[in-house]
Amino acid sequence: MSYIEVLEVAGLPTEKINVGTVTDQFNHQTQTEEWYYGNNQLIVIVNDTVESVDRDVASTYRKIQYIIDSAKAAGDTRPMIAPGN
């Protein structure tokens, strides 16, 4: 689904965040945007195409926090996201 189709179906987002543009070693660019609808719905758009839809952002964040807390409780103290090389 393109971003135009999203606008036609869902309307304008409450908040739009430009996550940024990344260029790979072959000089291909990837642009990512997060479109928030209300306090709890999110559409991620990558290169003008819908990449994902989250209808319950709060629940997703709780699940991620649970995974982090479980890893720490099991003794894993490594960073959850490794810095790029």
- Whether 79 has a pLDDT exceeding 90, the answer reads no
The one-character DSSP state at 5 is H
The one-character DSSP state at 8 is H
- Whether 11 has a pLDDT exceeding 70, the answer reads yes
What global pTM score does this model have? 0.75
Exposure of 31 in the CB half-sphere (CA atoms within 13 A): 6
Q: 19 and 33 in contact (C-beta within 8 Å)? A: yes
> Which residue, among 30, 26, 33, 29, has the nearest Cα to 7 in the 3D structure?
33
Which tokens hold the place of 47?
A: 């290169």
Q: Give the per-residue pLDDT at 85.
A: 52
